[in-house]
Amino acid sequence: MKKTDYKKELVIKGTQKRNGSNNRADVRKIQSWLSLYAIGHPNAGTATGIDGDYGPATERAVKNYQKANDIMPSGMVTQALFDKLCAPMREAFETPLQSSNLRNLVLEVAENHVKSHPRELIIKGQSNSGPWVRSYMDGHDGSMWFWCMGFVQMIVDQAASAQGKNFTTLMPQTVSCDILGNTGLEKGILHRNRTLNQDPSLIKPGDIFLIKKSRLDWTHTGIITDIDGTTIETIEGNTNHEGSRNGIAAMKRTRNFKKSNIDVFSIEPLV
Q: Is residue 149 part of a domain?
A: yes
Categorize the per-residue pLDDT at 243 as very low, low, confident or very high, splitting at 50, 70 and 90: confident
Q: Is residue 139 part of a domain?
A: yes
Same domain membership, residue 262 and residue 192: yes
Q: Is residue 200 part of a domain?
A: yes
Domain that holds residue 181: 98-270
Q: Is residue 145 part of a domain?
A: yes
Categorize the per-residue pLDDT at 209 as very low, low, confident or very high, splitting at 50, 70 and 90: very high
Predicted pLDDT of residue 159: 98
Categorize the per-residue pLDDT at 234 as very low, low, confident or very high, splitting at 50, 70 and 90: very high
Q: State the CATH number of the domain containing residue 119.
A: 3.90.1720
Same domain membership, residue 139 and residue 56: no
Among the candidates 30, 62, 85, a domain finishes at 85
Q: In 3-state terms, the chain is what percent helix, strand and coil (to 5)?
A: 40, 20, 40
Q: Is residue 185 part of a domain?
A: yes
Same domain membership, residue 125 and residue 25: no
Same domain membership, residue 118 and residue 55: no
Determine the average pLDDT of the residues in 245-265.
Answer: 94
Chain segment 89-104, per-residue pLDDT in tens: 999 999 999 999 999 9
Q: State the CATH number of the domain containing residue 34.
A: 1.10.101.10
Give the E-state strand segments of the chain in sequence order. 121-123, 126-129, 190-191, 208-214, 217-228, 231-239, 249-256, 262-265
Among the candidates 50, 85, 120, a domain finishes at 85
Same domain membership, residue 182 and residue 112: yes
Q: Is residue 93 part of a domain?
A: no
Predicted pLDDT of residue 201: 95
Among the candidates 55, 85, 115, a domain finishes at 85
Predicted pLDDT of residue 259: 84
Same domain membership, residue 14 and residue 140: no
Same domain membership, residue 162 and residue 256: yes
Count structural domains, the chain. 2
pLDDT at 251 over 90: yes
Written as one letter, the residue type at 195 is T
Same domain membership, residue 253 and residue 122: yes
Length of the chain (residues): 271
- pTM equals 0.96
Determine the average pLDDT of the residues in 124-135.
Answer: 98
Same domain membership, residue 201 and residue 104: yes
Q: Buried b / exposed e across 195-232, counting CB within 10 Å, b at 16+?
A: ebeeebeebebbbbbbbbeeeeebebbbbbbebeeeeb
- CA pair distance 91, 86, nearest whole angstrom: 9
Phi, psi (degrees; rounded to nearest 5) at 49: -65, 150
Same domain membership, residue 105 and residue 208: yes
Chain segment 14-72, per-residue pLDDT in tens: 999 999 888 999 999 999 999 999 999 999 999 999 999 999 999 999 999 999 999 99
Same domain membership, residue 46 and residue 110: no
User: Cα–Cα–Cα angle for 150, 155, 161, nearest 5°?
Assistant: 120
Predicted pLDDT of residue 72: 97
Same domain membership, residue 229 and residue 106: yes
Chain segment 143-202, per-residue pLDDT in tens: 999 999 999 999 999 999 999 999 999 999 999 999 999 999 999 999 999 999 999 999
